[in-house]
Amino acid sequence: MHSHNIHIHKHIYIFTYIPILFQGQRYNSKTDIWSLGVILYEMVCLKMPFNGNNMRQLVQAIVNTTPSPPSTTYSTSLRELVKDILLKDPKRRPGINNILNRQIVKDRITIGRRINSFVLSNTRPFM
């Protein structure tokens, strides 16, 4: 494993920490939304949303910077979802009900249910 990869793996979980925790505020349900945003950002952008050469710089980036937006090759609704769930102010960050009621999420849930139904109806018990 390259030393760069080792460095990344040692610090990967810091990315999911919400900025308010670094500022001494309390954990709440929107903390998990932030973590989801970090994971979604990495899946969409193929990179972590924040950078730093050491832990201090990384924390500063999380607290003080906004990640670059996802590529315009993605839908506006996906780009807005990523941006919204990475809002640093938890009062402005959407809650789970808001996220689940967005059309892009509803559409993916519907597709997932159809796939699940198809798989279950075409699977035989193992004997």
Name the DSSP letter for residue 14: G
pLDDT at 124: 81
Cα dihedral 52, 44, 39, 118, rounded to 10, equals: -160
pTM of the model: 0.74
- Closest by CA to 103, choosing from 126, 72, 80, is 80
**Per-domain residue ranges of the chain:** 3-121
| Sequential DSSP letters for 37-61 | HHHHHHHHHSS-S---SSHHHHHHH
Identity at 15, one-letter amino acid code: F
Side-chain half-sphere CA neighbours of 75 within 13 A: 6
Instruction: Report the C-alpha gap between 5 and 43 in whole angstroms.
Output: 18
**Band of the pLDDT at 1, cuts 50, 70, 90?**
very low
**Band of the pLDDT at 20, cuts 50, 70, 90?**
low
Question: Structurally, what CATH architecture does the domain formed by 3-121 represent?
Answer: Orthogonal Bundle (1.10)
Side-chain half-sphere CA neighbours of 78 within 13 A: 13
